[in-house]
A and B are shown apart, each in its own frame.
Chain A
């Protein structure tokens, strides 16, 4: 449409500017000079606004929406920084922070070859070969970049804000991915949805310096580049997806999801008859180059050719070669029946050879079977019976409906609708997003932690549903209009409805209905935004190392006991002292207290953890022997009886028993239970009342009044009065108890002198 009529039309509707323009050409008004200047300014603005063509207006709208979404994704993750301070949260991020600190201080080669003797006391840990370096290298590069520009930032600030920064980048990738799958308006909705989705925020809030913050960005980037490669068949995009895969392998152990989903997708395309040369180029380049690059990470090593979890990718790779070969033979042969016979022979031989190769590989042990972590995803009951360490982690529990609702809200309704739209318009790209959505939703159902991996797929598919529905409704509003309006496809068409001439009797009803439905869509999306902000603020912004509670008068009470205890350890113990605690606190102790620990969150050695578990659940004499063997100087326990904190060591005690009992049959779980029930009061089992953990947690607790109207020694976390109040320690002495009794540190006394 020519700009001239456009400008005339816009001029008529912008009433203020029009009248301002008309008055400026006549005699100046009795007002002073500033009014004239003001009208000139308005002139300039209005002239500017209608010199833009429709395409430019659309581009401006899209860029501004993306910019706002980018900023929104960053600032919604800053609740805990504003409420408490800029600190690292939880447990795992402390290890990541410590390694990043080491990297920035000592350089890349020291980091790559680092042997850490401060954890897993007598054994040590080969850090360079047992971590995923992507996160640390990324943060270090950002830090060095900012330092180069002479911004004097501390590495801790960079670490705290890495995750929100990459979350913002993920929204951009989601926009491009949505554009690739459906169209650009679906991309915009996807970017907006993923910016505030609680499923993603839970692991990428500021301070949560963990692998997933960067890995989800790498995951979505790899998928986007691969789908783009399949759509275009270009070598550049395939190689780019291989590099994206390399970044993902360096960032997170969840790369196994990519290396299994992409072959599964290729297989589905082959079955549905969508084989093409584009697919051949994309998959081959990505697999070969990606595999070679992945072998550069020491932790991954040769797993791509040796581990059972990666065999699917290799199998599909060879299958693709067979397909290409058959295609070529079909082109050469002119006889159809001859080709069919040839096809039958080839397929039978190939399948036979593959089965023989797989069998020989597995039987000889060259191809290792699926590891417990990933096997428990396929068979969820496996971990409960066989591997208690995996089953004990709270994030690995299966998902209930309320966790889904909490993390997704409206997207749970939009997901099946989006799947319907994808099935209506099946292309290579929509088949991919459907497969990604379905597999990730299944895994999210098996393990709560994996809701994170499902979030991008759910957001993209829901965006398709929203975009398609809004387009349909907006179509209704525009059906009989003579003058086509430019502008975006969003719900702005309601305002234009009033200026239309009505041609049909059913038109007003349809139009009003469409307006009402659009308002309904807007209402639902605004409720989604409210829900997401509430969940982020209340549930996902707690640093876990600082606890908060409501006092008696509704004021906020902060418990900073953990950091108090670690600081005490750092200041008051010899530098080579070894600290024994349950593995949850290992990373924090090494990072903040800078002392050697016996076991930490890496949990790579089950026997060592079982030794500690055995020590915690034995009587004091046996435990003392184990502690002398391990050279332990201090023991640290976490106790929530005074504050009512429920994630303390007494509540985790049964896991210590189970893990210890898994390796040392001396420890039997029924010894600690009464009629199958776990109790700490007078009716508790005698072994429970005298084990080391009980004594260390409840030492001197029997004299304490914790609540009005209750006897002394009332455990507020369990809600009972403890059974054994008169506790005497023979081989340990109390070194430090924090102000709210949450962390208690005991010193191991040297053995008695011989008489």
Chain B
């Protein structure tokens, strides 16, 4: 279904009677308004839809993954506060609590987003490692990709372990 510009449309109108179109709608339109009206000269172009490249789709997918893993559905339904707070019994000051403690399936919004970011960072680190091993790049670029990848993975893993240890004090004991 290729888009038709106005010129081809006009030429089609002129050459159709000789070809014999099989489109009944076309014949109907030809008879009813356009036997006495002149067809307008349009400069319309139907937008051509083309499939996006795989890497574009992949970046959208990565964004969706970040949102799901941060617990966005939990945030929308349960509506927890962005960050928890507790009041110091002695001085009366309000101290923020970042990690909701007490159960595994509960979170505040900010803690969810930061953990989700760490997971995506780890994934991106592995992707950078693979890019670093691609043969067709300059050596300095490869080295910087490799070091960025390794540091991302290490940082993401260490931070995730730290987060889970804060959230569940009995972890691995």
**In this assembly, does B54 line the interface, its C-beta being within 8 Å of a C-beta of chain A?**
yes
| Measured CA separation A603–B44 after assembly (Å) | 59
| Closest A residue, CB atoms, query B51 | A272
User: Smallest Cβ distance from B125 to chain A, in angstroms?
Assistant: 8
Contact A416 to B123, CB < 8 A, known contacts A438-B61, A445-B69 = yes
Of the residues B54, B64, B127, contact of A438 by C-beta under 8 Å: B64
* Residue in B104, B126, B146 whose beta carbon sits within 8 Å of that of A413 in the complex: B126
CA of A549 to CA of B112, assembled, Å? 30
Contact stretch, chosen from A57-65, A398-406, A614-622:
A398-406
A158 at the interface (CB under 8 A from B): no
Residues of A within 8 A of B163 (CB): 405
Contact residues in B for A384 (Cβ distance below 8 Å): 77
* Interface window among A66-74, A127-135, A315-323, A418-426: A418-426
A window 331-366: CB within 8 A of B: 337-338, 340-345, 347
Contact of B68 among A410, A441, A513, A520 (CB under 8 A): A441
Q: Find chain B residues with CB under 8 A from A695 CB.
A: none
**Given A340-B2, A441-B65, is A469 in contact with B123 using a C-beta cutoff of 8 Å?**
no
| CB-based contact B104/A412 at 8 Å | no
Identify which of B107, B126, B153, B160 gathers the most chain A CB atoms within 10 Å of its CB: B126
Nearest opposing residue in chain A for B4, CB measure:
A340
- Asked if A465 lies at the interface with its beta carbon under 8 angstroms from chain B, I say yes
Closest 3 pairs (CB-CB, A-B):
A416-B123, A413-B122, A417-B126
Mark out the residues of chain B between 83 and 113 whose CB falls within 8 Å of any chain A CB in the assembled complex: 104-107, 111-112
24 A–B pairs (Cβ distance < 8 Å), ordered by A: A271-B51, A272-B51, A342-B22, A345-B23, A347-B1, A398-B71, A398-B73, A398-B77, A401-B115, A402-B106, A402-B107, A405-B160, A406-B104, A412-B123, A413-B126, A416-B123, A416-B124, A434-B61, A444-B68, A472-B129, A472-B133, A513-B146, A524-B157, A539-B104
Q: Tell me which residues across on chain B come within 8 A of A530, comparing CB atoms.
A: 172
Which B131-160 residues have a C-beta within 8 angstroms of A? 133, 146, 150, 153, 156-157, 160
| Min C-beta distance of B84 to chain A, whole Å | 13
Residues of B within 8 A of A441 (CB): 65, 68-69
Question: A448 interface residue, CB < 8 Å from B?
Answer: yes
- A contact set with B: CB distance below 8 Å: 271-273, 337-338, 340-345, 347, 380-381, 384, 397-406, 410, 412-417, 419-421, 423-424, 426, 434, 438, 441-442, 444-446, 448, 465, 468-469, 472-473, 475-476, 513, 517, 520, 524, 530-531, 534, 538-539
Nearest-CB distance from A151 to chain B (Å)? 40
By the criterion CB–CB under 8 Å, are B122 and A446 in contact?
no
Encoded as 1 (CB less than 8 Å from any A CB) or 0, chain B from 53 to 75 comes to: 01101100110110011111110
Q: Are B106 and A400 in contact (CB under 8 A)?
A: yes
Measured between beta carbons, the chain B residues less than 8 angstroms from A446 are 73
Contact of A531 (CB < 8 Å), options: B55, B72, B74, B172: B172
In contact, A381 and B77 (Cβ under 8 angstroms): yes
B21 at the interface (CB under 8 A from A): yes
What distance in Å separates the Cβ of A451 from its nearest Cβ neighbour in chain B? Answer: 11
Contact indicator A469/B129 (Cβ below 8 Å): yes
For A465, give the chain B residue with the smallest CB separation.
Answer: B126
Which B residue sits closest to A383, measured CB to CB? B77
The residue in chain A whose Cβ has the minimal distance to the Cβ of B153 is A413
Q: Which residues of B contact A531 (CB under 8 A)?
A: 172
B-chain residues with CB within 8 Å of residue A344 when the two chains form the complex: 1, 23
Closest chain A residue to B134, Cβ basis: A472
Chain A residues with CB under 8 A of B61? 419, 423, 434, 438
With most chain B CB atoms within 10 A of its CB, the pick from A416, A475, A534 is A416
Contacts of B72 in A (CB 8 A): 445
Residues of B within 8 A of A345 (CB): 22-25
> Is the pair B133, A405 in contact by a Cβ cutoff of 8 Å?
no
Task: Give chain B's interface residues, CB within 8 Å of chain A.
Answer: 1-2, 19, 21-26, 51, 54-55, 57-58, 61-62, 64-65, 68-74, 76-78, 104-107, 111-112, 115-116, 119-120, 122-127, 129-130, 133, 146, 150, 153, 156-157, 160, 163-164, 167-168, 170, 172
A415 to B126, CA, bound (A): 10
CB distance from B34 to the nearest CB of A (A): 18
Do A401 and B111 have beta carbons less than 8 Å apart? yes
In the bound complex, do residue A420 and residue B130 qualify as a contact, i.e. CB atoms below 8 Å apart?
A: yes
Are A415's CB and B65's CB within 8 A? Answer: yes
Contacts of A416 in B (CB 8 A): 62, 65, 119-120, 123-124, 126-127
Contact between A472 and B21, CB atoms less than 8 A apart: no
Check A413–B58 contact: CB distance below 8 A. Answer: no
Contact of B58 among A338, A419, A468, A534 (CB under 8 A): A419
A402 in complex: contacting residue of B64, B65, B105, B123, CB < 8 Å: B105
Inter-chain contacts of B74 with A (CB < 8 A): 397-400, 445
Q: Is the CB of B65 within 8 A of A534?
A: no
Contact in complex: B1, A340 (CB < 8 Å) = yes
The answer on a CB contact under 8 Å between B172 and A400 is no
Q: Is the CB of A399 within 8 A of B126?
A: no
User: Nearest Cβ distance between residue B114 and chain A, in whole angstroms?
Assistant: 9
Other than the given A399-B105, A417-B127, 5 more pairs (CB < 8 A) read: A398-B74, A401-B112, A402-B168, A403-B104, A416-B124
B123 partner residues in chain A, CB cutoff 8 A: 412-417, 420
B126 and A414 contact, CB distance less than 8 A: yes
Separation of A468 and B131 alpha carbons in the complex (Å)? 12
- Kindly list chain A residues whose C-beta atoms are within 8 Å of the C-beta of B133: 472-473, 475-476
Contact of B150 among A412, A423, A472, A517 (CB under 8 A): A517
Q: Which residues of A contact B71 (CB under 8 A)?
A: 398-401, 404, 445
A-chain residues with CB within 8 Å of residue B153 when the two chains form the complex? 413, 520
CA distance A400 to B153 in the complex (A): 22
Q: State how many angstroms separate the Cβ of B147 from the closest Cβ of chain A.
A: 10
- Select which of B73, B122, B168 is within 8 A of A380 by beta carbon: B73
- CB neighbours of A445 from chain B (8 A): 68-69, 71-74
B70 to chain A minimum Cβ distance, whole angstroms, is 6
Chain A, Cβ-Cβ closest to B124: A416
Let me know if A341 and B2 touch, CB within 8 A: no
Question: B130 and A397: CB pair below 8 A?
Answer: no
CA distance A539 to B76 in the complex (A): 27
The complex places the Cα of A406 from the Cα of B69 at a distance, in Å, of 12
> Which residues of the other chain, B, contact A273 by a CB distance below 8 angstroms?
51
**Minimum Cβ distance to chain B for residue A344 (Å):** 6
Q: For the complex, what is the distance from the CA of A337 to the CA of B78, rounded to whole Å?
A: 56
CA distance in complex: A384, B79 (Å): 12
Determine how close the nearest CB of chain A comes to the CB of B135; give it in whole angstroms.
10
The interface residues of chain A lying within 8 Å CB-to-CB of B157 are 410, 413, 524
Q: Which of A417, A423, A517 contacts B57 (CB 8 A)?
A: A423
Shortest Cβ gap from A448 to chain B (Å) = 6
The answer to whether A420 and B168 touch (CB under 8 A), given A398-B78, A469-B129, is no
CB neighbours (8 Å) of B23 from chain A are 341, 344-345
Known: A340-B1, A402-B168, A416-B62. A472 touches B73 (CB 8 A): no
Residues of A within 8 A of B119 (CB): 412-413, 416
Measured CB to CB, the nearest residue on chain B to A381 is B77
Per the bound structure, the CA–CA distance linking A341 and B20 in Å amounts to 11
Question: What residue in chain B is nearest A411 (Cβ atoms)?
Answer: B119
> Separation in Å of the B149 CB from the closest CB of chain A?
9
The residue in chain B whose Cβ has the minimal distance to the Cβ of A531 is B172
Contacts of A405 in B (CB 8 A): 115, 160, 163-164
User: How far apart are the CA atoms of A531 and B124 in the complex, in Å?
Assistant: 23
CA–CA, A513 and B149, complex, Å = 13
